[in-house]
A and B are shown apart, each in its own frame.
Chain A
């Protein structure tokens, strides 16, 4: 893959050129795609972890009714392909979607105006659907190792539940949070099936597909894939250098 990205020919390995990498740097089209990929991945990662932390906290600290059902529902997306997640968003938030029509019925507005399935908002939900369970998976493991005696010690010393979380729990789950960030952000960068269906934002993986399927530009797609691989590898390496989080490369 890396070799063909330096090839002078678009479809076969021949000669040596940096043309396809130059293209990725100088062409505003590719820069926009890179920025789209990064901001969308970062935003969905932050929101996923922000949701997953209180859920993991609640699952660890309280005897919730129907806990096994909650866990099943929350872990289910891990085994679903992105395409299915995209269809679910259409079924719920499309023009004829369930939630769209419920909101329309209550608000009196047109379902077409309310449908967000193929907007960036719909894509955001689809990403969260895939990413929250991954963050939760890691955070639940982290929470299982939290020293609850230390939390109780803090309470007995006068700390409120919020202060206990800030001073005692948070430092303990920090490696898990960084690990979850790495894992979920990588997931966001790699999502393809969902975006292939919803197509509401042009991101790196979708463009790689287009280079191959529409332009037959294997060399350009290879350059993009090489950049993608290098970025994810370096990001993971740097993130893990400053934490003991256990996320494999």
Chain B
């Protein structure tokens, strides 16, 4: 295990800056998630840490060791790929023992290590199977066992659950979360799935256009987004101008995240922070979507602002498109956010 420190890490591809002066620390034993939209630079950051891309500027340190120009095979990084990337010409056990073999571990020892990991991941009975005969979930476990077999200083997970069905994702998410807690291995989890990142990571870095917009705990990022981009990307958020809610609530005392930019003050309110039924905010239902446990209302306020509101399905009984409703929101649930630069 190690503490990973990125210092003004930059990667340019011709005229495109994929990663732009990213400074980030992944603490020893921590699970840090990087989330962001496609093309935001999260996978490039992972590839820089793994050694598959060379930094244009900046440094990568594992503890006090400068790894910026160290080739991938000498970094001792466990990498789990989106497409699993298993060696189809080898059995599951051979996949898992491959890393220790490359590190010169004796045959008996690497076999024992592989058996332990296969047991831990509950795939011992698959040891002699060919990877291509396994299901997606099983392949993902083999990929994880293979990455852990080298006792990596850092485990890098690159969208490891993409392509799995929703139910399997949920069960694997729980298992993987428990496993990472148990192993206490420093982990970087790259995903575009914010829900997974929120559930599994100790901290989350939200990336956009090569920059890190905010690094914090999942709860803090959700409750106090640093700017409009984070507020919009993590969960659903209503970004409204101050005057939309003025008069209805005390917007001046809303918790502020940093200074306002260029005189603009934007307010962020989560859809589930509205209380439908009574309150000073009047709106008309423009659309209504049944989501199962909740009902999503798209409402229009008096000044024409469109808001997304979530309410309990029982509270939505009898509501229909065109109805006038009243709503309330606690001042403490409103956050002033900077416009994304």
Q: Which residues of A contact B83 (CB under 8 A)?
A: 147, 149
Question: Is A154 in contact with chain B by the CB < 8 A criterion?
Answer: yes
Q: Is A172 within 8 A of B89, CB to CB?
A: yes
Q: Is A147 within 8 A of B103, CB to CB?
A: no
Kindly state the separation between the CA atoms of A167 and B73 in the bound complex, as whole angstroms: 14
Q: Is B99 within 8 A of A157, CB to CB?
A: yes
Kindly state the separation between the CA atoms of A34 and B130 in the bound complex, as whole angstroms: 44
Please encode chain B, from 147 to 191, with 1 for each CB lying within 8 Å of some chain A CB and 0 for all others.
101100000100000000000000000000000000000000000
Q: Is B87 within 8 A of A156, CB to CB?
A: no
Q: Is B89 within 8 A of A153, CB to CB?
A: no
Chain B residues 125 to 146 lying within 8 A of chain A, measured CB to CB, are: 143, 146
Kindly state the separation between the CA atoms of A159 and B238 in the bound complex, as whole angstroms: 50
Q: Distance in Å from the Cβ of A152 to the closest Cβ of chain B?
A: 6
Kindly state the separation between the CA atoms of A152 and B85 in the bound complex, as whole angstroms: 9
Q: Which residues of A contact B4 (CB under 8 A)?
A: none
Q: Which residues of B contact A171 (CB under 8 A)?
A: 87, 89
Please encode chain A, from 134 to 164, with 1 for each CB lying within 8 Å of some chain B CB and 0 for all others.
0000000000000101101111111110010
Question: Is B86 in contact with chain A by the CB < 8 A criterion?
Answer: yes
Q: Distance in Å from the Cβ of A159 to the closest Cβ of chain B?
A: 5
Task: Spell out B's residues near A (CB within 8 Å).
Answer: 50-52, 71-79, 81-83, 85-89, 98-99, 102-103, 143, 146-147, 149-150, 156
Q: Which residues of A contact B98 (CB under 8 A)?
A: 154, 157, 159, 167
Question: Given A149-B81, A153-B81: A159 and B89 within 8 A (CB)?
Answer: no
Q: Is A168 within 8 A of B77, CB to CB?
A: no
Q: Which residues of A contact B89 (CB under 8 A)?
A: 168, 171-172
Interface of A is mostly: helix
Return the chain B residue nearest A170 by Cβ: B89
Question: Given A149-B81, A163-B102, A167-B98: A156 and B73 within 8 A (CB)?
Answer: yes
Q: Is A152 within 8 A of B72, CB to CB?
A: yes
Q: How many residues of A contact B (CB 8 A)?
A: 17
Q: Is A150 within 8 A of B102, CB to CB?
A: no
Q: Which residues of A contact B72 (CB under 8 A)?
A: 152, 155-156
Of A150, A152, A158, A167, the residue contacting B103 (CB under 8 A) is A158
Of A154, A158, A160, A163, the residue contacting B87 (CB under 8 A) is A154
Question: Given A152-B79, A153-B146, A167-B98: A159 and B73 within 8 A (CB)?
Answer: yes
Q: Which residues of B contact A156 (CB under 8 A)?
A: 50-51, 72-73, 75, 77-79, 147, 156
Q: Which residues of B contact A167 (CB under 8 A)?
A: 87, 98
Chain A residues 148 to 204 lying within 8 A of chain B, measured CB to CB, are: 149-150, 152-160, 163, 167-168, 171-172
Kindly state the separation between the CA atoms of A168 and B85 in the bound complex, as whole angstroms: 11
Q: Which residues of B contact A152 (CB under 8 A)?
A: 50, 52, 72, 79, 81, 85
Kindly state the separation between the CA atoms of A128 and B151 in the bound complex, as whole angstroms: 48
Kindly state the separation between the CA atoms of A152 and B81 in the bound complex, as whole angstroms: 10
